[in-house]
Structure 1
Amino acid sequence: MEILKMDLLTFICVVMLLRFSSGNAEDCKSSSIPPNPGSGCCGRAVGVTKAIPGFYAQLSQYPWIGIIEHQKENKTKLLCSAILISGRYMLSAAQCFGPTAEQIGKPTNVRLGEYITSNDGPDCVEVGGSQECNDGALRIPIEKVTTHPDFHREQNFQHDIALIRLAQIAPITDFIKPICLPTSDITAEPPQQRMWTAGWGANNQSSSPSDRLHHIDLPYVDLDTCQAAFNISKIRQLKLGQGQLCAGGEEGKDSCKGDAGGPLMYTRDRTTEVVGIVSFGAIPCGKAGVPGVYTNVFAYDAWIRANIED
């Protein structure tokens, strides 16, 4: 065999390289610092082989998506999603915090590894004649929320980004794992493939949020085209900025109410990156010709890293 021709040092290096690139959970350590996309320790879902009928996501398809619990008068409400980027930190939308959001309730916990929000304990689904289950949701208290200092809801939702510090390090499991931060600005090199967004938001403007995680695929839309679409539709009078990006514009396919703070995802070489954060869109959502607007995560990379504490 060819491998016998290698010296011992070369053989060891090859084995270490293969292990490093595999991204197995036992090779990855959960910490406050976002993993390097090349490490295989972020943006890799496991066990995603069977499709669930309809538009529902698979149990372990998006292990980086969490949902925020807001509490008021002993009642828990689920208002927004959040995105795990390291063992200790999550991204979300700034609109999910502050005085307006706290009228609904104070953000207290994040559920990780969640799938069916109305169910306590492990969530199970029938797939291909067999039952598959996750571990159930893990609730971790929110220690600190840092919203972008320049965010103002009334100013076209620009700088709609927040960084959540969890009270404890999240474990790495098949159902809990960070997504990678973007390695480049997707608006500078528009993607040829479609992107995905996922969450527990409503299917349309008149329905209630879903209790099961679902997803949709969306095309990238450049900022000028997106701006023109909003100008023509007159749904909202706004001026989009360089910290925003757009996706969608297809009838009935859009992020909607309850999806704020969730990810817009793009996969490069089997590794998924969070390129956007759900911010706002047309009213009603899913209107043909009017894309949804997302915070461009790459534009805030320096701000994110500057606010992470080891």
Structure 2
Amino acid sequence: MTMAYKVYVYVLFFCVFQWTNAQFGSIGLSVGMGGIKDDDVLLSIRSPCPQNTTCVPVSSCPILEDLMDFSCFSSDKYFHRLNQLICGNAGDEDYVCCPSCDCGKVFQDGQEKCGQSMVRGVEYNGLGSQPWTARVGFTHKESGNVRFACSGSIIGKRVVLTAAHCALAKPEGYKLSTIVVGEWDIGRSPDCNDYFCAPPTQAIKVENVIVHPGYEQKIFRHDIALIMLKDEIKYSVTAAPICLNDKPEIVLNERASLVGWGKLSGQNNVVSRQQQLEVPLVPLENCERIFGESVPVNEGQLCAGGEEGKDACSGFGGAPLLLFRDGRHVQVGIVSFGSENCGSEGVPSVYTNIAHYYRWIVDNSPS
């Protein structure tokens, strides 16, 4: 296996350093033996440790000790990769390349770090890469059937941010009832990739909804809402909070990521797994030109997209629009509305502008 590739997998209170193949992109490693001293034991070195790790006894590396006991990591391929962390042995005890970073402290002492995926790799967009995305569920009053018609984003342990048109929706006898977090592929349980299986999804009942008091349904004015949950979200590799943008300045043509479940332009059917799409931020005037007469747009909204064949067509209402800034993902918008000509060139979509409503979000979220 080529050691020129690596991915950090951060899980709950620990992380593991491992090497993988080119699908995560190439990252050069600075490898050096360094001095390893043990007063009483002769250490047989199998291989040097890469940068930011130290060759220590397994018993002295609680991050990896916990990881080896973690039940959701069950595949033979995963344990084979974990075995590659062994750098030597002394007597009956193995020595491992123990991460020297503090990345295992992601969710300690209530100081959660927003916008940081616990699974990291160059251009990686698989399981766990967007853990702040939530599914918004509606239950039929008579049959009890649950339908997921919108998306949202985790901004607190009991708060999900979405569009007002989603929170107030009552499609065909359905009523907002449930938020599901920790989901990746709705057709699989548990969700797994080559390295780990995710913790079970969390389905949490809705306690109440706070809709912006100025919301106007016909023109999507102030299309923003907070969904309060009855129980707290348990943060994990697939469920974590997103950062919110509080800076009104937007860089035009910067590419933002749209994340959620539904149907994208060019797809005939809804895809079961979480999808991502990059769209450019464009001048608000572009949306005014398309929607201005029937649905006026203003500074409380963002305009993005307009590239042929690239747009969210259905099921993405309330989904987050994200930028990557200073090492973190930041939510800048909420999917609000678009054209019936989904994915047409020169036809962008409209998003609720997070920066414009930042103070309202903070004032109405539990401390």
The verdict on a shared fold, with TM-score over 0.5 as the criterion, is yes
1:5 maps to: none
* One-letter identity of the residue aligned with 1:202: K
Which has the greater radius of gyration? Answer: 2
Where in structure 2 are there 5+ consecutive unaligned residues? 1-100
Give the 3-state SS of the residue equivalent to 2:216 in structure 1.
coil
1:165 maps to: 228
1:275 maps to: 332
* One-letter identity of the residue aligned with 2:119: G
- Decide which moves more: 289-298 or 145-154: 145-154
**Structure 1 or 2: larger strand share?**
2
Confirm or deny: 8 A CA contact 1:95 1:101 kept in the other structure: no
Residues 1:245 and 2:302 are matched in the alignment:
yes
Give the 3-state SS of the residue equivalent to 1:133 in structure 2.
coil
Give the 3-state SS of the residue equivalent to 1:264 in structure 2.
strand
Q: CA–CA distance in 1 between the matches of 2:226 and 2:118?
A: 26
1:38 maps to: none
Superposed, which structure 2 residues align to 1:279-290 within 5 Å?
279-290=336-347
Confirm or deny: 8 A CA contact 1:205 1:284 kept in the other structure: no
Tell me how many residue pairs correspond in the alignment: 265
TM-score in terms of structure 2 length: 0.67
Deviations, residues 91-119 of structure 1 (Å, cap 9, x unaligned): 00111132x42535111111100011233
TM-score in terms of structure 1 length: 0.79
1:91 maps to: 161
2:170 corresponds, among 101, 105, 110, to 101
- Decide which moves more: 257-266 or 88-97: 88-97
Residues 1:29 and 2:110 are matched in the alignment:
yes
- Decide which moves more: 294-303 or 103-112: 103-112
Percent identity among equivalent residues? Answer: 33
CA positional deviation for 1:205: 7.8
Q: CA–CA distance in 2 between the matches of 1:74 and 1:102?
A: 14
Superposed, which structure 2 residues align to 1:1-310 within 5 Å?
24-27=105-108, 29=110, 41-49=113-121, 57-72=125-140, 73-98=143-168, 100-119=169-188, 121-125=189-193, 130=194, 132-154=196-218, 156-185=219-248, 188-190=249-251, 193-204=254-265, 207-230=268-291, 237-310=294-367
Deviations, residues 148-167 of structure 1 (Å, cap 9, x unaligned): 1211221x211110101111
* One-letter identity of the residue aligned with 1:137: T
Confirm or deny: 8 A CA contact 1:23 1:44 kept in the other structure: no
Q: CA–CA distance in 2 between the matches of 1:183 and 1:135?
A: 32
* One-letter identity of the residue aligned with 1:71: T
Where in structure 1 are there 5+ consecutive unaligned residues? 1-17, 36-40
Confirm or deny: 8 A CA contact 1:263 1:278 kept in the other structure: yes
CA positional deviation for 1:290: 0.8
CA positional deviation for 1:64: 0.3
Give RMSD over aligned pairs. Answer: 2.2
Q: CA–CA distance in 2 between the matches of 1:229 and 1:107?
A: 31
Confirm or deny: 8 A CA contact 2:252 2:283 kept in the other structure: no
- Decide which moves more: 110-119 or 63-72: 110-119
CA positional deviation for 1:226: 2.4
Higher relative contact order (CA 8 A, sep 6+): 1
Q: CA 1:281 to 1:230, structure 2 compared with 1: closer, same or farther past 3 Å?
A: same
Deviations, residues 120-143 of structure 1 (Å, cap 9, x unaligned): x31124xxxx36422231111111
Q: CA–CA distance in 2 between the matches of 1:157 and 1:230?
A: 11
